[in-house]
Amino acid sequence: MNHSNHVKSTAITAESIADSSVVASDAVARYALGLGDDALVLAHRLGEWITNAPELEEDVALGNIGLDLLGHARSLLTYAGTAWDRSEDDLAYFRDESEFRSRQLFELPNGDFAQTIARQLVSSTYFVELYRALSLSRDATLAAIAAKAFKEVSYHLDHSTQWLQRLGLGTEYSRERMQSGLTVVWPFVAELFSADPAADALDAVGFDGIAVGVESLRPAFDALVPRLIVAAGLTVPELPAARGGGRVGIHSEALGPMLAEMQVLARAHPGATW
Amino acid sequence: MTTAKTTTAETAVEQAEFDRLIESDSRVEPRDWMPEAYRKTLIRQISQHAHSEIIGMQPEGNWITRAPSLKRKAILMAKVQDEAGHGLYLYSAAQTLGIDRETMFEQLITGAAKYSSIFNYTTPTWADMGSIGWLVDGAAICNQVPLCRASYGPYGRAMTRICKEESFHQRQGFEILLELMRGTPAQRAMAQESVNRWYAPALMMFGPPDDDSPNSKQSMAWNIKRFSNDDLRQRFIDMLVPQAEVLGVTLPDPELKWNEARGHYDFGPLNWDEFYEVLAGRGQANAQRVAKRKKAHDDGAWVREAARAYADARMEERLAS
């Protein structure tokens, strides 16, 4: 592990990481890969909203949030790839479904706008806590990526909180849709805060202080999200947790078709650059 | 334009003031008096332009989920999102003339308002993202740069902002094609095939030849339009040829050649029957484009209604407290 060559935290991008001499260790790369996949899958889903949003302002807003997440994904995958001499695109386009390490929440289909907002509420809260903690990582590159991402996901949380309020307290119909959206995403909350084998592996080899133990973030989530839901006139769902398994390559049926579409052109021209 | 109003002495004074503004190439602002025909022309043009931005999101939005690299995916998402932003500024500019967004939306859906016919062409290949940027946005820039000086203030200012982003859009389109032309034989073929499809439709974006363009003369007299359709088309072709050489693509016009005497490229005739066919609704995707816009709007009705209800309730609370 080489911490001396770290990239400047003010303007960290996929390109600046690729151009630097930073090389992640295999263990750090595996951890970054999971985080990168989370951001990539959710970014792709938000990209699906563009041209379909309920108002033009939301085409812009959801597109912006998706772009921020795509930026995080590119940095994290580029960094992961330094360990294996693979580019962000090698990792995004030339791995199969079972090799993706994203948590299942992110691949959930968009559903209607309320379901997307429910997924955004949970995701953004999780990302805020994750990146806040990860910005203190002993790994300078992860810390820099997280510090930049933290500012952005804070805005994302604001966006979803405002829509939660509007839909929860808007009309009877919007309240029903918002409640139904929460019901769809809620079983996938538990997986977000369940152990990450890649993070545990880092600790096991004495790299503690690099990854974030997501189990420790749950209290902050529980202190915020149920309160927001209740304040929006809605009920916190009481549902059993889904089985999860995204971090070991087990996914819902939604991911395969999503990747098939995402990867189709790149795979039709292996070795090409774009 | 003669209406009943223009006979009153008061209106004659206002008309004279308006004419003075136009003559001195000054800006007309929303609170200024303006002839009804000027207002109508601007509403028609600005709303059509806004609709073009919004419908124009679709042919490119078609590739966001399949973009072949993460960098291209990010650029494409940003670009399509910019177009939504352009639509929003332009709708706002049109609103200053006394029309609301809902009415403009109805006009789009019912076909009462047009949008640029170019967006009724489909995007079957990735190279079309390059062609749209290079050719379609390139033509749009030629059209739009002079509009930054349009006599109506809010329109000119919106265009200044839009043109800055459009030149970035054109550059990214050029880069997509350049990357393809430097790539594999399959990529080069994809680029050339796409340029073959988009070239003539892009030239027709400037509108019919001057002799067949009924609205142009008045728009030029009002300092809304600064150059004629044919002048702009020529300017665009002159700009395009050297860029095509850099790319290594062939422009599909056997009559294209430099004319030393004119100092311009000569070019072959365009198929205006196709232009009028597409304009009349028989393009590749006219129905699809409008139907998709309508579906997004209809599907989102309950969301907008909820946001309104929420805002109204907050307002009432504030008034009560």
pLDDT-based confidence at residue A4 (cuts at 50, 70, 90) = very low
B184 contacts A93? CB cut-off 8 A: no
The Cα angle at residue B24 between residues B21 and B27, in degrees rounded to 5: 50
pLDDT reading at B40 higher than 60: yes
Q: What is the mean pLDDT of residues B138-162?
A: 93
Q: What is the rounded (10 degree) CA torsion for B100, B101, B107, B109? A: -160
Window 77-106 of B: residues touching A by CB (8 A cutoff) are 77-78, 80-81, 84-85, 87-88, 91
Q: What is the mean pLDDT of residues B9-37?
A: 92
> Residue B90's pLDDT is what?
96
Closest CA to A120 of A246, A254, A225: A225
Map residue B258 onto helix, strand or coil.
Answer: strand
Check if A92 contacts B (Cβ < 8 Å). yes
Can you say whether the dihedral through the CA atoms of A79, A85, A91, A93 is positive or negative? positive
Q: Closest to B84 (Cβ–Cβ): which among A60, A71, A173?
A: A60
> Residue A11's pLDDT is what?
78
pLDDT reading at A10 higher than 80: no
B184 contacts A271? CB cut-off 8 A: yes
> Residue A5's pLDDT is what?
47
Check if B71 contacts A (Cβ < 8 Å). yes
Mean pLDDT of chain B: 93
Window 144-183 of A: residues touching B by CB (8 A cutoff) are 165-167, 169-171, 173-174, 177
d(CA A187, CA A193): 12
Q: Which tens digit of pLDDT belongs to each residue from A112-131? A: 999 999 999 999 999 999 99
d(CA B256, CA B234): 12
Residue A239, phi-psi category: left (phi > 0), alpha (psi -120 to 50), beta (remainder): beta
pLDDT-based confidence at residue B252 (cuts at 50, 70, 90) = very high
Cβ contacts of residue B123 below 8 Å, gap of 6+? B59, B60, B62, B63, B129, B132
| Residue located via tokens 């990867």 | A263
What does the DSSP 8-state code read for residue A208? Answer: T
Q: List chain B residues with CB under 8 Å of A49.
A: none
DSSP line for B56-114: THHHHHTTGGG-SSHHHHHHHHHHHHHHHHHHHHHHHHHHTTT--HHHHHHHHHHTSS-
Looking at the complex, report in whole angstroms how far the Cα of residue B228 sits from the nearest Cα belonging to chain A.
32
Cβ contacts of residue A146 below 8 Å, gap of 6+? A130, A131, A132, A133, A134, A135, A137
Helix axes B153-181, B70-95, angle to 10 degrees: 160
Identify which has the larger pLDDT, A143 or B167: A143
The Cα angle at residue A72 between residues A69 and A77, in degrees rounded to 5: 125
- C-alpha to C-alpha distances, B59 to A46, A117, A188, nearest whole angstrom: 18, 26, 34
End-to-end CA distance of chain A: 32
Contact A6, A146 (CB under 8 A): no
Q: What is the mean pLDDT of residues A157-167?
A: 98
Q: Which of A50, A57, A69, A269 to mutate to test the interface with B (most CBs of B within 10 A)?
A: A50
Which of B126-140, B240-254, B268-282, B299-313 shows the lowest per-residue confidence on average (mean pLDDT)?
Answer: B268-282
Q: Give the residue from chain B lying closest to A43, CA to CA.
A: B74
Check if A270 contacts B (Cβ < 8 Å). no
Helical ranges in chain B per DSSP H: 9-23, 36-55, 57-61, 70-95, 101-110, 127-131, 138-144, 153-181, 185-203, 216-221, 229-247, 272-277, 286-299, 301-320
A269 contacts B65? CB cut-off 8 A: no
DSSP bridge pairs for B258: B265
Using a pLDDT cut of 70, give the percent of chain B over it: 98
pLDDT reading at B3 higher than 80: no
Contact B129, B191 (CB under 8 A): no
Check if B296 contacts A (Cβ < 8 Å). yes
Burial (CB count <10 Å: 0-12, 13-18, 19+), residue A14? buried
Q: Closest to A174 (Cβ–Cβ): which among B126, B296, B303?
A: B303
Which of B223-237, B239-253, B293-307 shows the lowest per-residue confidence on average (mean pLDDT)?
Answer: B223-237
Window 124-183 of B: residues touching A by CB (8 A cutoff) are 126, 176, 179-180, 183
- C-alpha to C-alpha distances, B215 to B1, B15, B93, B225, nearest whole angstrom: 13, 21, 21, 10
> Residue A205's pLDDT is what?
80
pLDDT reading at A14 higher than 90: yes
Q: Closest to B70 (Cβ–Cβ): which among A53, A92, A177?
A: A92
> Residue A90's pLDDT is what?
98
Burial (CB count <10 Å: 0-12, 13-18, 19+), residue A149? buried
Q: Which of B63, B64, B65, B70 to mutate to test the interface with A (most CBs of A within 10 A)?
A: B70
> Residue B8's pLDDT is what?
78
d(CA A145, CA B245): 41
Q: Which tens digit of pLDDT belongs to each residue from A77-110? A: 999 999 999 999 999 999 999 999 999 999 999 9
Using a pLDDT cut of 90, give the percent of chain B over it: 84
> Residue B7's pLDDT is what?
63
B306 contacts A173? CB cut-off 8 A: yes
Q: What is the mean pLDDT of residues B61-83?
A: 97
Q: What is the mean pLDDT of residues A238-246?
A: 96
Q: What is the mean pLDDT of residues B267-288?
A: 92
Contact A103, A244 (CB under 8 A): yes
DSSP bridge pairs for B266: B257
Cβ contacts of residue B171 below 8 Å, gap of 6+? B133
Contact B224, B194 (CB under 8 A): no
Identify which has the larger pLDDT, B98 or B219: B98
Map residue B266 onto helix, strand or coil.
Answer: strand
pLDDT reading at B1 higher than 80: no
Superfamily in which the A23-268 domain is placed by CATH: Ferritin, core subunit, four-helix bundle (1.20.1260.10)
Looking at the complex, report in whole angstroms how far the Cα of residue A198 sits from the nearest Cα belonging to chain B.
24
> Residue A257's pLDDT is what?
98
Which of B45-59, B185-199, B206-220 shows the lowest per-residue confidence on average (mean pLDDT)?
Answer: B206-220
What does the DSSP 8-state code read for residue B156? Answer: H
pLDDT reading at A2 higher than 50: no
pLDDT reading at A1 higher than 50: no
> Residue A178's pLDDT is what?
98
Map residue A272 onto helix, strand or coil.
Answer: coil
End-to-end CA distance of chain B: 52
Q: Which tens digit of pLDDT belongs to each residue from A38-78? A: 999 999 999 999 999 999 999 999 999 999 999 999 999 99
Q: Which of A13, A56, A258, A273 to mutate to test the interface with B (most CBs of B within 10 A)?
A: A56
Map residue B152 onto helix, strand or coil.
Answer: strand
pLDDT reading at A232 higher than 60: yes
pLDDT-based confidence at residue B4 (cuts at 50, 70, 90) = low
Looking at the complex, report in whole angstroms how far the Cα of residue A93 sits from the nearest Cα belonging to chain B.
8
For A69-105, what is the HEC assignment? Answer: HHHHHHHHHHHHHCCCCCCHHHHHHCCCHHHCCCCHH
| Residue located via tokens 């390490």 | A101
